[in-house]
Amino acid sequence: MPRSVFPPDSCVVAEVVPSPNHGERKDERQPDMILLHYTGMPDANAALERLTSRLSQVSSHYLVFEDGRIVQLVQESRRAWHAGTSVWAGEGDINSCSIGIEIANPGHDFGYPNFPARQIAAVTALCRSILTRHSITPERVLAHSDVAPGRKQDPGEKFPWRTLHDSGIGHWVKPAPISESGPLLTLGDRGEGVTALQNSLRAYGYGLAATGTYDSETHDVVAAFQRHFRPQRVDGLADASTCRTLHDLLAQRGRPRNIAARAKAFALLAAS
């Protein structure tokens, strides 16, 4: 049977190409997150085919081509299948609370080119349109790598989060300068400084237990944080720049009663 074409949710959509891969949002949830991906395939049309193939069992709400063309695949009211196994702020069913946007880019496995300006302008317009229909706070405009740091790198360190923030989309602070004096915390480290780092990352939303050991999971989460908020160097090492940037993000959005605790956490990190 032919798939029924639905009216687009946004005036910035150029075409509707329905995907069969969607379902009901759990507990009739309304979207309160935007999740950005890259397609990770050399050809955008092949990515569109995959996102609309019943056999693939994957989809997103939107696909943004390199030239800025926006195609809608799933209605915003429906649960698209784009996040996979993922966690944010203690919640595991990210598909039920999010709107997924795939951005055509070959990704790290195929050369990872820069995102064209026209494409980013289209992503910005689409996000602004979504924000007019849904209550989404800045810190819930996220990368796939934020919610699945052990599995995903997209949309990656070349994605211009600051450009979106300058248009009123997402959370951002100026990254603290990188010092060449060496990392503060790295794989195998243990102690209060590691616990403070893990607690701070968890307070921001990352799915990370405070074990007090800088393990591979902590390394992956730090790398995901860097890809989004300190993209100048992505190495998974908690240097002073990474820790200060995390502290500043938490302080900017945090309740006043939490600022002293976060300052103490950063002091522990700096002393490590």
Q: What is the pLDDT of residue 5?
A: 87
CA distance 154 to 145: 6
Span 220-259, pLDDT tens digits: 999 999 999 999 999 999 999 999 999 999 998 764 445 5
Query: 133 forms bridges with which residues in the sheet?
Result: none
CB 28 within 8 A of CB 64: no
Location of each CATH 1.10.101.10 domain in the chain: 192-271
3-state per-residue secondary structure call for 233-272: CCCCCECHHHHHHHHHHHHHHCCHHHHHHHHHHHHHHHHC
> Pseudo-torsion of CA 258, 210, 208, 169, nearest 10°?
20
Of 204, 61, 57, the residue nearest 142 (C-alpha):
204
Over residues 214-222, mean pLDDT: 98
What is the dihedral sign for C-alpha 262, 264, 265, 270?
A: positive
**CATH T-level assignment (fold) for domain 192-271:** Muramoyl-pentapeptide Carboxypeptidase; domain 1 (1.10.101)
The predicted pLDDT at position 184 comes to 87
Long-range contacts of 193-199 (CB under 8 A, 24+ apart): 193/268, 193/269, 193/271, 193/272, 194/218, 194/272, 196/264, 196/265, 196/266, 196/268, 196/269, 197/222, 197/238, 197/243, 197/246, 197/265, 197/269, 199/265
Can you read off the two tokens belonging to residue 216? 């591979």
Residue 136 has pLDDT above 80, yes or no: yes
The pLDDT assigned to 181 comes to 76
Query: What residues are annotated to the active site?
Result: 102
Distance CA 72, CA 121 (A): 17
Q: Is residue 221 classed as helix, strand or coil in its secondary structure?
A: helix
Stretch(es) of the chain classified as CATH 3.40.80.10? 15-166
For residues 70-79, average pLDDT: 98
> Is the confidence at residue 271, as pLDDT, over 60?
no
pLDDT at position 261 is 54
Beta bridge partners of 141: 34
The average pLDDT across 184-192 equals: 94
Residue pair 104/64 in contact by the 8 Å Cβ criterion: yes
Confidence at residue 257, expressed as pLDDT on a 0 to 100 scale: 46
Topology at the third CATH level for domain 15-166: Lysozyme-like (3.40.80)
Nearest C-alpha neighbor of 148 from the set 233, 35, 247: 35
For the chain, give me the number of helices (H) and strands (E)? 9, 8
Per-residue pLDDT of 15-74, as tens digits, reads: 999 999 999 999 989 999 999 999 999 999 999 999 999 999 999 999 999 999 999 999
Helix (H) or strand (E) holding 63: strand 62-64
